[in-house]
Every structure is written in structure tokens, then in C-alpha cells.
Chains A and B, each alone.
Chain A
Amino acid sequence: MSVLIFLDQADGHIRKSSFEAACYGSQLAAQLGVPAETLVIGTVSDDLASLGQYGINTVHTITENSLNQADGQVFTQVIAELVRTINASVVVLSNNMLGKAIAPGLSVLLKAGLVSGAIDLPTTSNGFVVKKNVFGGKAFAHVGITTPLKIITLNPNSFPITKLEAKATVKPFVAIIPPSKVKVVSTKKVEGEVSLSEAEIVISGGRGLKGPENWGLVTDLAKVLGAATACSRPVADINWRPHHEHVGQTGLAIAPNLYVAIGISGAIQHLAGVNRSKTIVVINKDPEAPFFKSADYGIVGDAFEIMPKITEAVKKLKNK
């Protein structure tokens, strides 16, 4: 028995959301009194033994170049094979694009109940119950998994990364790689310097900024804070900003530590994508903007005057 954590990598490096999954999985393993094991697929340049600092005992690797860019269903079959080999009782993945492509198929292959988008460790005193957000962040559900084998996908930015001093054992896993039914024609990177779904701080702009030429107000602050940038739906729809920056119900749902909304009124569809943020700041010249009701901090005023002053103040703070 063990907890197996699938670690997602990009360009040879383990993703931040995967470190969160590693910490989540190893703490769950400790709770269950079993070892924590991980699987890394593809060629990774990181020191994998150092994954021990996240509480990982064993790292299984499949260093196959062809798997740097594979179809989710191929990963699903490879993970299922490892689960059977090491007799894992829980599989943890990040609830990111790849995790969402893999986990449902894995659930069918292994006849294992899946809870996607977990935000806390399961309670295991009476059954196996996982907490997740439902109804666009308006409620929590506690979902019981009734199968012997369990699969959990963890929402990015929902679990703290903690470190200890330990080394993991790295072991190659010889897997049967099934042929992919999907031919990858091309891939294109579209994200900025900071990944929006993994960002701890997100600075977001709405129609109140009046035009794409004014986006410096958003990007200047984002730059000094090392933050990702986002926008509201109308802004993406009128092409002021790219669609992948759209956060909200039909765009990306995010949960950063700090979300700063500038010139966004806060329609319920927008809130559904951002209300899991830990701290929300709203800057809007309309004191009646509904967003203020969901905010922790707010300034009623003209963003064109306020934003440069905030950016200046942050620069001063950073230089201290």
C-alpha cells in the first residue's frame, strides 16, 4: 500500500502545482501510515532525489523522450500499470489541464472513485471523505469515495508547500508504453512569464481601463509583484487582451493568495472564477460596484490616478 503522486513537468522542470500535490500526497501517506511514491514521466533535469524534501520516499521515473509531449490516455495507461505494480491505494494528481485529462480515464481503468478539485486533506476517521468547492465557489462539498482505490486531483494554490530534510530513492520504472491514438501536430506556448493558474498574485483589469493601451496600469504592478495578469470576459471578448487571460465562469477559475481587480464591476459570472482567492482587492470608481461586497480591501477612485501610486509604493516596499 502507498500513495502515488503523479508529477507534471514542463520543459524538464516539475511544475509548482505538482510540488503542492507532492506535499498533499506525502501528508496523506503519513496520515494513512504508508509510503509516498511519485511518478515522473519524460526527461527532467531537476534533481529528483531532492523530492525527498516534500516527504516523498520513492520517485519512479520513465525517462522516455517520446513522452515529453504525449497524449493523456497514454499517461493514464502507464500510471495504471504502476499503480498495480506498487499496489497503491490512493493516486494524487494536480487538477490542472493534464490532471483533468488523465484522472477520469484512470478512474475507469482502475475502478477507483475520483474526486476532482480537492482543497484539503481527506478525513479518514469515518470512511474517506474529500472536501472540494462546488457551485462556483459558493459552497463546499464533502465527497465520500467508496471504492478501495481512490483518486484525488488537487486544486492549484490550495495546499501549502512545506519542506524537510530528506532524500528520495529514484528508481526507473519499465513500463509498456501503449501506442498513442492521437497525433500531435504542434504545440504553442501562450502564457506569460507567470502561469495564471499557479500564480500567487494575480492583477486583473476590466472595461473600466477603457482600452488596451492603458494596460500598463495592470502590467506595471504585476511586474513589480511577480504576478500574473488576467482580465474580465468583456475585455477578452473585445480582444483587448488574449482569451487565455480571461478569468471567470466561462474562463479560468483561479485561487491566488491575492487577486487585485481594477475596473471590474464584479458580475456573478466573474466572481465564480475568482472568489476562492484568499485576499481580494477591488479598485473601482463606482462605489456601488457589486465587487466591493466580495472584497477584503477596496479603493473607490480613479484607477488612472491610483494605480501608478500603488505601483510606486510596492517598489519602495520591495527596495527596503
Chain B
Amino acid sequence: MKILVCISKTPDTTAKVTFTVNNTKFAEEGVQWIINPYDEWYALVRAIELKESGIVSAIHLITLGNADCDPIIRKALALGGDEAIRINADSQDSFYIAAQIAAVAKEGNYDLVLTGKETIDYSGSAIGGMLAALLEWPFISHATHLTLENSQATLVKEIEGGEQTDQVQLPIVVSCQKGMAEQRIPNMKGIMGARTKTLTVREPVAADSFTSFVQFDLPAAKAGVKLVSADHPEELVRLLHEEAKVI
């Protein structure tokens, strides 16, 4: 059984967010890049667990971007991916990205494609669902558990105000969130081994883009905290009622 895990490079949570080119582009200079946490902690680690349990024979990674992505791909390989594919293109449009991944998934004979539930930078939550529609495979979104038995998957997913257990025949696309697996740290053997694992760079296939980022801006700075004395907590209630008008 073969799994394709989609990973994305995102700025570290603590990164300073600024923009360039008339506020049309995220300023990448000096930014620390990480693997999108949902892709890494949940999708990739669950794939590794499934491989460790003997059900899955190979984990392939896919990302879209330029050579700046290579360090995060190597990290994902160090954690436990077997080989990686990088689509050599630069795009923020979900449909374009999904079309690229779909092209690879179609010819790669995968049984399962895993994504994180969203990326922490653009929070699109779109790649998994688009990919499933392009491949005409079932899509399970916001999954918290995944087990495989022969060609059947059993999943628990979050639904509004609760959770739902589903059964579905492979191949499927799953978007993963907290609960799927626990974060891991690559060990030295993994890091050394990752250097020689295959990283294939492919040129993109022709695909449309449906959206484009027109402009970015930053929220207005907060006025600063208004402190209330611990001796008079009832004053806070008055402020929330009369000034902020939220209670």
C-alpha cells in the first residue's frame, strides 16, 4: 500500500509578518520556514505509524515550490518519508496546487493521499477537497483517527459540534488534524538517511488558477490593555457592559 503525503512550507508561527511589492507579496527575507504543522504532526506522522505497523509499504511526499522548499522536504524525509517529489512552481492558488498534486497522484497508483486540515499561513482548507474532486475519490475532512484494514479505511472526523465515524473503500483523500498522531522529532539516523533519499523535481502540468492575492494589510494596532485593580474586579464587569458593550 502506498501513501502520498502533501506537505507545505509555512513561515514559523513566531515569524514577523510583513509585505513587499506594494503590499502584494509576503516578505520572505529572514523568515524561518517550517513544515506546516498539520501536514507534519498529523498527516506525515500518521503515515509513518501506518508504515511501522506493516500495513503501508511506502510513503511519498509531495510539495509545490522552488528550491527553498528542499530543507523542509529533507526534514520530512528524516522523519520517515521514503522519497519526495517537488513540483517546481510558485503559486498560492489552491486549484492550481491541487491540479499539480492530482496529476502526480493519478499516475503514482496511491491508495491514500493525506493532507493537513489547512496551512497556518493562508488557511485555505481547500487542497484535500479539491484533490478528491479531481481524482473522483472519497474525501474525509478533519479526520482525528485513521485505521486501515485491507482496502477499507475507518476514520473518525470532526463534524459541527461532534464527531462521526466513517467507513470507506480506498483510495481516498483525508485531511488530518489533532488526534491523528503525536509530534515527533527526527533522530540522527533519520537525518543522515534523508540526505540520500530520492527527491525528484518535476515541472508543473498546465492548469488554471481561479484566484489571486490582490493585496495584504495589517490589522490596526491594539490601543493597549486597560488594567483593572484586583481589589475591584466588579469594575471589569462595568467596563465590559458599558464601554465594550459585550455583556
Contacts and interface: CB of A to CB of B under 8 A. Distances in A.
Nearest to A117: B123
A100 B129 contact: yes
B172 to A, nearest CB: 8
B176 to A, nearest CB: 11
Kindly state the interface size class of chain B when it binds its partner: 35 or more
Kindly state the interface size class of chain A when it binds its partner: 35 or more
A174 interface: no
B125 A313 contact: no
A192 to B, nearest CB: 9
A239 interface: no
A297 B165 contact: no
A105 interface: yes
Contacts of B17: 135, 138-139
A114 B166 contact: no
Interface in A149-204: 181-191, 195, 197, 200-201
A246 interface: yes
A107 interface: yes
A51 interface: no
Contact of B222 (A69, A200, A244, A294): A294
Interface string B97-127: 0100000000000000000010011111111
A243 B162 CA distance: 11
Contacts, number: 266
Contacts of A96: 160
B230 A139 contact: no
A28 to B, nearest CB: 17
Contacts of A306: 230, 233
A112 B101 CA distance: 19
Q: Is the interface of A mostly helix, strand, loop or mixed?
A: mixed
Q: Identify which of A115, A182, A189, A200 gathers the most chain B CB atoms within 10 Å of its CB.
A: A182
A20 interface: no
Nearest to A98: B160
Interface stretch (B70-78, B81-89, B136-144): B136-144
A313 B209 CA distance: 55
A295 B225 contact: yes
A158 B164 CA distance: 27
Nearest to A155: B123
Contacts of A298: 225-228
Contacts of B138: 71, 73, 181-182
Interface in B139-184: 139-142, 154, 158-169, 177-179
Interface in B40-86: 41
B19 interface: yes
Interface stretch (A29-37, A53-61, A249-257): A249-257
B197 interface: no
Contact of B241 (A147, A197, A293, A317): A317
Contact of A182 (B19, B126, B140, B216): B140
Nearest to A225: B247
13 contacts: A98-B159, A104-B133, A105-B132, A113-B210, A113-B211, A114-B95, A135-B26, A190-B163, A191-B162, A201-B246, A243-B179, A250-B41, A299-B236
Given A136-B13, A185-B154, A302-B230, 17 more contacts: A8-B160, A71-B138, A72-B139, A73-B139, A97-B160, A98-B159, A104-B133, A108-B133, A141-B215, A143-B212, A144-B214, A185-B167, A191-B162, A195-B160, A258-B246, A296-B226, A305-B230
Interface of A: 8, 10, 15, 69, 71-73, 76, 95-98, 100-105, 107-109, 111-117, 127, 129, 132-147, 181-191, 195, 197, 200-201, 225, 243-244, 246, 249-251, 253, 257-258, 268-269, 272, 278-279, 281-282, 292-302, 305-306, 309-310, 312-314, 317
